Chains A and B, each alone.
Chain A
Amino acid sequence: MALGTALLAACGDAGGAATTRGEATTAAGSAGEADTGEADTGEPTDACAGALDPGPSPLRRLTHTQFANTVRDLFPGVTLPPLTLMVDPEVHGFENNAGAQSPSALLVEQVQRAALAVTEAAMAAPQGWLPCGVDGGADPVGCGHAFLREFGGRAFRRPWTADEAEAFLGFFDQQLAEAGFAVALPLTLQAIVQAPQFLYFFEFGGAPVDGASGVVALTGHELAARLSYFLWDTTPDAALLAAAAAGELDTAEGVRAAAERMLADPRAREAMVNFHRQWLDFDAIETIDPDPEAYPGYAPELKDSLRGELERFVAWVLFEGPGTFEALLMSPRAEVDAGLAGLYAVEGPADGWAVAELDARRAGILTRAGFLAGTSHAIHPSPVQRGIFVLSRLLCAPPAPPPPEVSTELPEETGETPTTNRERYAEHTARTECAGCHRTIDGIGFGLEHFDALGRWRAQDGGQPVDARGELVGTDVDGPFDGAIELSARLAGSAQARGCVVTQVFRYALGRSTEAADRCQTARLRAEFEDVRGDMRALLLAVVTSDAFRHRRGGAP
């Protein structure tokens, strides 16, 4: 899938920013994001003491991942075929932004074909989900109606309305009369999983909120869906739907309790890895192409290892480890397979994965081979890609795009003494029109020069000792540093970076971009995140209990 969305990108990197997938292109509008206060580090202002405003709630749709997970869970015991559903356009790296979820002929047709494929597989293995035989047994009408009502409630994430029951059961009855149960049931199921109530998250809200004009609380079932698709990437389970029906999600405490239960469930692990995949761009690994002469030991299978390690690392940090943003940047704890063990020069297992402690030259995510390889070219690492990644994904301050028609050619390695990667970049970006931005970008990226295009440690580059001194510019932790550990530590201590984490989680949880109306919400969340010293699990709970998550503006959605 990554190939479908990984494209030509920034022109700013002399080595090619192809795997940063649009980072530089996003920068034109980045000032707006910064202007909303996302880079602020302070407490909520007095202006935030006023009326509650949950911000906009644009209509969202199941992502391709959520569709696949949901049909998987609706048909237990069925081995489903691979489903081809388009990935919606990424916004800030996320695939669930409502603003980009416009329907298309391709999407509509893909959903129809997926529905056909799902029910075909399901009817071949009915034991786990259908209470009667595929012929309907002794009472096809009774079995069909009872099952469809129950199934429909799970699929729509709330009980059917009378109109819905009439429409779908009426269709079933008609098809049953004409073609029999084995045709009528799958046809009706196909209709259900193509229906708007399944594909889209309709939120009309319930009770008005006292003292907040025009704001309504989401209904229990609407909140259950938000929770479930944020924390699980799939449909609510019976317990969550029961909690919704019982009114247990009507309070922040009830939502917190539900979320805590959900975070303890294995489904949360997969979903949160998926969030990190998008936030930290694990997909960049899919398109690395190391030069065979420079990296003779490289085999494409290593990509699975690189990705697997990142997935295991972020899951460990969040669920078994300290759970903090600091750990994400600073923990030397890794899980490695044989291929990665060689790359990291640590003891590794002959088969499978094993825990390893990386040496003192490595720490968290910025020193892991997956990130380092994903921000490199065929031979040389890219300080530009690495710098842009940190700026846009960790500091929420993407740089402006480079001027067009500026040749970004890297000088050739000529002469008796080869220049280093750093020197080539420095020379190239020394020109006046480049220097301003590249001081900020490369100042970060140079700090990672000890890692080559495969993420291996290197003491020398081009016959010279590596110079990994860098500088942070325009952040709340400005100043010189030396090497990846100091860079990671600086970022781990940055309130701006923690504020950016809040922004990224908020965007993903709400399925939309942030805007000016969110300033107070995100400021409160940033303050809470500071209070818990960057505890990511606490942040997830803070977001789901926030006003923005539990309410919407009134009126027609």
Chain B
Amino acid sequence: MRLGRRALLGGGLGLGLGALCLPSLAPRGARAEATGPVRRLLIVMTEHGAVYDRWRMRPGGLGEDADWEVPLAGLAAEEFSEILRPLHDFRDRLLVLDGLGNAVALAAGMNQHEAGHATALTGTHVQPVDGALARAQGPSIDQIVAQAIAAPGQIASLQVTPWSWPYCFNDAGEAVPYIYEPLELYAKLFPQGPGDAPVPTSLAAIRARQSQVVDLVRAQYDQMAPRLGGDDRRKVEQHRDLLAALGLQLEKLAEIACAAPDSPGAGPPWEDPAWYDFRSEVFTTLTTLALSCDLTRVAVVALSGLRNEHVGAPPGDIHNDFAHAVSTDPVAKQVMVEYGKLHAGELRRLLAALDQVPSEGGTLLDDTLVVWGNELGSPEHAMDRVPIVLAGGTSFLGAPGRYIRWRPTHVATGPWGDEWQGPPHNRLLVSIARAMGVETDQVGVGSVKLKDGSTLDCTGELDRLRG
């Protein structure tokens, strides 16, 4: 089968895009060869939560202690919050969610960056590991969705980052590793390279027979597994099954015509702040390309690693000197506002790139549910009011273009303090799962114990999201 799908990704990401020499852009409205309606999930994770009073919107002076929502379409740019203003152009395709809590992370009793990473996309309890980063206790939403919608032979999901702790976890709660290097992502998506260099006959034959090699290797794993027990056996069986997926991938991806851009190269050295810009650029561009070519339908991009130069910060550590001081130091607060604005700008460029790729549903953006999430609620480690923005394929969830506010309704308890929180973020994960075609009523824990001894039901969809 030849899928015959061609990349139609255009420019628009700015820095570095020219070097990628992406295929020329087809006129908007033109359609790539369709293989049927496809839904895609793209999760963008950033860190340190949000400076809430500069992130939130209160059009018309709407209050804190009520549930409400307003359409975004009628808001002028200056009515958008400072941090979210870069997204104003896409306001009719956004869902801004204000008031969700990550109660299960609060209950973890450990560094909340770590707990937030393990819970943001899983909703499970945290599993501490002596001497290492905590794990989750079940799969993250990207893995749940990937298992449901990835076609055999597709890359089930992509996880890329310049520099971040894990957000993605497999069924056993083990971290799904990231790709850190742009060249590594390029090699994964385009193992044959740009395609304009002649390939020796023997090398071409070797490449063409890779799935046969994998089959032989897989048989060795299959024979070894029964000789083992417990975790050892599970490890070998897991490796065997991953090989089976790789074998299919090697066969199928070779059949997908996705014009390879030039190699992005290694980029600037770490000392150069452009190190981050380059990675952000290449990762978002190549991820968009992978989605547009249907090489994958699920991707997670964890954007972390901004330098002081990016956010106008004086010397000091963004994490400890500024993020932790937003409530007491105006300079630190402004640094973290700039931090949020910069990431919002990155998201806007990503949405613009997706919107330039024609697709069955209109553009790739229409077919892709984009989720902008975070491991914390606030830079000072709160787990309430976790900032969430949904974009693109928000029609999967109901009427797009809304700002939805949930008031705090209960007190979730943590080992060092309590928080008033709104709905548990698990329900958002359920809504995402259902939007992507996974019929489930629970992602992560089913409930969390509250301070008053009652339990917070974490199952079911997030109310009012479907409008």
Q: How far is the CA of A221 from the CA of B330 in the complex (A)?
A: 64
B246 with A112: CB separation less than 8 A: yes
Asked whether A183 is an interface residue with its Cβ less than 8 Å from the other chain, the reply is yes
What is the minimal beta-carbon distance from A414 to any residue of chain B, in angstroms? 12
Interface string of A369-389 (1 = CB under 8 A from B): 000000001110000000000
User: Does residue A238 face the partner (Cβ distance < 8 Å to B)?
Assistant: no
Contact digits for B233-261, partner A, Cβ 8 Å, 1 yes 0 no: 10110110011011001100000000000
Residue of A nearest to B106 (CB): A404
A59-B232, A164-B220, A404-B417 provided; 17 other pairs, C-beta below 8 A?
A: A8-B113, A8-B164, A8-B165, A10-B111, A15-B316, A84-B184, A84-B187, A105-B156, A109-B188, A115-B213, A120-B203, A171-B216, A194-B214, A555-B229, A556-B229, A556-B233, A557-B228
- The CA-CA distance from A20 to B418 in the complex, in Å, is 29
Q: Are A116 and B206 in contact (CB under 8 A)?
A: yes
**What 0/1 pattern do residues 175 to 213 of B give for CB contact below 8 A with A?**
111111101100110010000000000110111011011
Q: Mark B298-331, 1 if CB is under 8 A from A, else 0.
A: 0000001001000000011111110011011100
A182 contacts B417, CB within 8 Å? no
> Which of B94-102, B129-137, B399-407 sits within the interface?
B129-137
A89-B132 contact given A3-B180, A11-B381, CB 8 Å threshold: yes
Q: A202-B224, A407-B380 are in contact. Are A187 and B213 (CB under 8 A)?
A: yes
Complex interface: chain A residues within 8 A of B212 (CB): 171, 175, 187
Contact in complex: B202, A91 (CB < 8 Å): no
How far, in whole Å, are A22 and B232 apart by their CA atoms in the complex?
27
A108 & B242 in contact (Cβ 8 Å cutoff) = yes
Q: Taking A25-B134, A30-B130, A102-B174 as contacts, is the C-beta distance between A11 and B111 under 8 angstroms? A: yes
Question: What residues of chain A lie closer than 8 Å to B131, measured between beta carbons?
Answer: 26, 29-30, 33, 91-93, 97, 513
Residues of B contacting A86 in the complex (Cβ-Cβ under 8 angstroms) = 177
A-contact 0/1 string along B426-453, CB 8 Å cutoff: 0000000000000000000000000000
Binary interface encoding of chain A residues 1-40 relative to chain B, with 1 for a CB under 8 A from any of its CBs, else 0: 0011011101101111110001011101110110000000
Asked whether, in the complex, the Cβ of A58 is within 8 Å of the Cβ of B321, the reply is no
Say yes or no: A112-B214 contact (C-beta < 8 A), given A84-B181, A378-B316, A403-B416: yes
> Cβ of A197 and Cβ of B220 under 8 Å apart?
yes
Residue of B nearest to A4 (CB): B180
Q: For A409, what are the chain B residues with a Cβ–Cβ distance below 8 Å?
A: 320-321, 324-325, 328-329, 332
Distance, CA A107 to CA B235, complexed state (A): 13
* B114 partner residues in chain A, CB cutoff 8 A: 25
Contact of B321 with A107 in the complex, beta carbons under 8 Å: no
Known: A100-B132, A186-B206. A11 touches B320 (CB 8 A): yes
The docked-state distance in angstroms from the alpha carbon of A15 to that of B323 is 11
Annotate A80-109 by CB proximity to B: 1 below 8 A, 0 otherwise.
000010100111110001011111111111
A377 surroundings in chain B (CB, below 8 A): 316-317
Best-surrounded residue of B131, B155, B214, B328 (most CB of chain A within 10 A): B131
Query: In the docked arrangement, what's the CA distance between A167 and B461, Å?
Result: 51
Interface-central residue, A93, A204, A377, by most chain B CB under 10 Å: A377
Interface hub of B188, B219, B317, B329 (most chain A Cβ within 10 A): B317
CB distance from A166 to the nearest CB of B (A): 11
Of the candidates A100, A116, A171, A289, which one forms a contact with B207 in the assembled complex, judged by CB atoms under 8 Å apart?
A116
Q: How far is the CA of A384 from the CA of B202 in the complex (A)?
A: 58
B47 at the interface (CB under 8 A from A): yes
Tell me the minimal C-beta distance from B177 to chain A in angstroms. 5
Q: Verify B132–A196 contact, CB threshold 8 A.
A: no
Instruction: Count residues on chain B whose CB falls below 8 Å from chain A CBs.
Output: 94
Q: B111 to A404, Cβ gap below 8 A?
A: yes
Residue B269 CB within 8 A of the other chain = yes
B382 at the interface (CB under 8 A from A): yes
9 nearest CB pairs, A to B: A16-B317, A29-B130, A556-B229, A16-B320, A409-B325, A92-B131, A59-B232, A103-B239, A4-B180
Smallest CB gap from A84: residue in B? B184
Once bound together, how far apart are the Cα atoms of A127 and B417, in whole Å?
68
Q: In the complex the two chains form, is B224's CB within 8 Å of A196's CB?
A: yes
Chain B residue numbers with a CB within 8 Å of A92 are 130-132
Residue A163, interface by CB 8 Å: yes
B2 close to chain A: CB less than 8 A: no
Q: Is the CB of A7 within 8 A of B165?
A: yes
Do residues A404 and B181 form an inter-chain contact, with CB atoms below 8 A? no
Query: Chain B residues with Cβ under 8 A from A266's Cβ?
Result: none
Does A291 sit within 8 A of B, measured CB to CB?
A: yes
A115–B217 alpha-carbon span in the complex (Å): 12
Q: Does any Cβ of B come within 8 Å of A280's Cβ? A: no
Question: What are 14 A-B contacts with C-beta separation under 8 Å?
Answer: A92-B132, A106-B178, A106-B179, A109-B246, A112-B213, A116-B206, A171-B212, A179-B205, A183-B209, A190-B210, A194-B214, A377-B316, A404-B381, A407-B327
From A29, A113, A164, A407, name the one whose CB has the most chain B CB atoms within 10 angstroms.
A407
